[in-house]
A and B are shown apart, each in its own frame.
Chain A
Amino acid sequence: MAENFNRNTNVSANDLARLSQEAEAEATPSSARIVWDEFKADKPAMVALVIVVGFILFVMIASLFINTPKMMQTNIMAYFDRPGTDGMWLGADSAGRSVAKQLIVGSRNSIGIAIGLTVISSTFGICWGLISGYFNGYIDWGMQRVYDFMMMLPMTMMIIVLVTIIPHYNAITLTLIFSIFYWEGTSRLIRSRTLAESEKDYVAASKTSGTSNFKIIFREIMPNISSLIIVDTTLSFAENIGVETGLSYLGFGLPTQTPSLGTMIANANDPNNITQYWWTWLPAALEIIILCLSISYIGQVIRRAADASQRQGAGD
């Protein structure tokens, strides 16, 4: 067998090192390199990347130095302090609690939930969509009926009911409850692309090369729909910050003693706060807008990097 190949070519084991080196020199740049070039070519996205990474690192680290129970204590003397007075940079709310500190701890909670929710629900949704789309037939039929059933449940109401039933819930259980409902959109989107992708010849070629179905799904098809996955994941991350925030705003999110972006925006429920005490809700609102915008900028860059024909950065 090997002799058969040796007989018909001049390439032998002695050339291996030299030829691999030649190939190395001509190699296409790695994907990390391509993404980085793409960021360098797009200044707003670079700024967005710095903002998002810097901000997430800042709130994660800074919140370690804040004693949350102490911070959440009512301090009547600081009632609606204006920003800058009593050493409070962003003022205080109706209970005299520092808005700046609440913002840091609240951001950590909200972003943590959003990251957890995105990771769990996207992973599950992507797997569900890929498997359903690839196998087709009865498997697809069964999985899509489960999807339809989940889709039919009124999501917000179910979450509110679950949150009310469960006696002691915290950020982790809340994330899990959200995850039950947020994989559906992703799964349908991924399924539709997988259906188209699994008809292509390279999948047939992999089958005739003896590759197993699961390897074809996750090593062949998934990389080819990665641009869709990235766009969907970044968009759903931006959206998931809103999910927790929205529910906390309604009063069904995190417990009241746990600050979050949602509970801070809920300050805007009071007309007095909107007109006179703007510092209680405006910083949190601005933060969400800036974060979500930045994330979608970053998502666009990664999508461009994943699609050779859209690249703007240097490279091949």
Chain B
Amino acid sequence: MSLVEIKNLKVHYPIRSGFWNRITDEVPAVDGISFNIEAGETYGLVGESGSGKSTTGKSVVGLEKVTSGQILYNGHDITRRNNRRKLDYNHDVQMIFQDSLSSLNPRKRIEDIIAEPLRNFEHLSKQDEKLRVLQLLDIVGLDADALYKYPHQFSGGQRQRIGVARAVATNPKLIIADEPVSALDLSVQAQVLNFMKKIQRDFGISYLFISHDLGVVRHMCTNLAIMNRGRLVEIGTCDDIYNHPLHIYTKRLLAAIPRTDVSQRAAHRASRLAVEEIYREQQDKYYDDNGRAYPLVAVSPTHQVALPPDIAQQLAHQESEADV
């Protein structure tokens, strides 16, 4: 059984208007998505801004009110607050936030910040608690003198590590990493990502890794899902997505990865323009009449794409021929 199963999850935000301030319309931020996260793996969730990735992540950790659908954790539906409380759900599922500064309370010392989940879930003695915080600081590569400082005294990379230390504090099973490195510069990104991987190995944690940076996701993930306009457009292993993309949206995302190969600049530009050209001509083929992505259909045991079945088969066929 998977660690977390998300079934037909929907999060709609109401739009209120008129004299009585009634709900007149809805924004479907997440519109019926399903995927499973296995224990110990890193699951990537990729998409452009506003595609609903963060909303999905927040729903999984229990911060967002779910409109309909289920999120099963060990067979319990944790979209209901009562179930979350009964399971001590957040003992097992934690979150790393994108903005490292605003996710740490500026008025609290590092010790209190990292110890917060411990105080709520584990009730250790003062000595044990301090020891655990020092161990956590050591694990994320910070010195003990950080203990009584405030968040603004640290650099962005250090702050994000404090955020990771807090998330790891209760030894959770799953960590939602909501764009954990997008606010950091490239050298620090690599640092943070590598020790996130190290922690994963040491503690056997699963990540739901939310990002818009396909390069980073490739470094981190085994399976990933591509999200667009609140729907999943493609699910597969790293190999499926990077080497055999079927949906036009995935192709566009991949084409947008910057390349450092300057001598091939003209060729890269041409291939990007070609993808854009296909998108402009064949847009209707990939989305239904309302502009929504189609339901997912499987083209291989690991690979699913949101297309009408006949087109999906046809594209998959073309793709495998091109491979040979």
Residues of A bordering B, CB below 8 Å: 1-2, 4-13, 15-16, 19-20, 22-28, 200-202, 204-211, 220, 223-224, 226, 308, 316
Contact = CB atoms under 8 A, between A and B. Distances in A.
A34 B63 CA distance: 36
A209 B90 contact: yes
Interface of chain B: mostly helix, strand, loop or mixed: helix
Chain A CB within 10 Å — which of B134, B138, B166 has the most? B134
B117 A209 contact: yes
B97 interface: yes
Given A202-B105, A205-B103, A211-B120, A26 B134 contact: no
B203 interface: yes
Given A16-B134, A224-B106, A208 B148 contact: no
Chain B CB within 10 Å — which of A11, A200, A210 has the most? A210
Contact of B132 (A5, A205, A209): A5
A202 B102 CA distance: 6
Contact of B135 (A6, A204, A210, A316): A6
Interface stretch (B9-17, B139-147, B265-273): B139-147
Interface string B278-299: 0000000000000000000000
Contacts, number: 121
A218 to B, nearest CB: 12
B128 to A, nearest CB: 8
Contacts of A208: 61-63, 90, 93-95
A207 B63 contact: yes
A23 B103 contact: no
B109 interface: yes
Contacts of B105: 202, 205-206, 220, 223-224
A202 B166 contact: no
Contacts of B58: 204
B147 A20 contact: yes
B97 A205 contact: yes
B103 A204 contact: yes
A117 to B, nearest CB: 28
A27 B153 CA distance: 11
Given A9-B135, A202-B104, A204-B97, A308 B147 contact: no
Given A4-B171, A200-B102, A210-B91, A16 B148 contact: no
Given A8-B203, A201-B103, A23 B148 contact: yes
B99 interface: yes
B167 to A, nearest CB: 9
A16 B146 contact: no
B131 interface: yes
A210 B202 contact: no
Contacts of A224: 105-107
B130 A1 contact: no
A28 B166 contact: no
B131 A13 contact: yes
A201 B166 CA distance: 14
Interface string B92-134: 0111011100111111110100001100110000011011101
A226 B107 CA distance: 10
Contacts of A9: 135, 138-139
B150 interface: yes
A28 B108 CA distance: 11
Contacts of A209: 90, 94, 116-117, 120, 166
For the complex of A and B, the 5 pairs showing the least CB-CB separation, nearest first, are: A27-B148, A23-B147, A26-B145, A210-B120, A201-B103
A205 B95 contact: yes
Nearest to B93: A208
A26 B109 CA distance: 12
A199 to B, nearest CB: 10
B277 interface: no
B152 interface: yes
A15 B202 CA distance: 22
B26 interface: no
Contacts of A26: 145, 148-149
6 contacts: A1-B171, A5-B132, A11-B135, A202-B106, A205-B103, A223-B108
A23 B146 contact: yes
B63 A204 contact: yes
A27 B149 contact: yes
Chain B CB within 10 Å — which of A7, A12, A27, A226 has the most? A27
Interface in B68-91: 88, 90-91
Contacts of B104: 202, 205
A165 to B, nearest CB: 40
Given A6-B135, A23-B146, A208-B62, A316 B153 contact: yes
A205 B148 CA distance: 20
B111 to A, nearest CB: 8
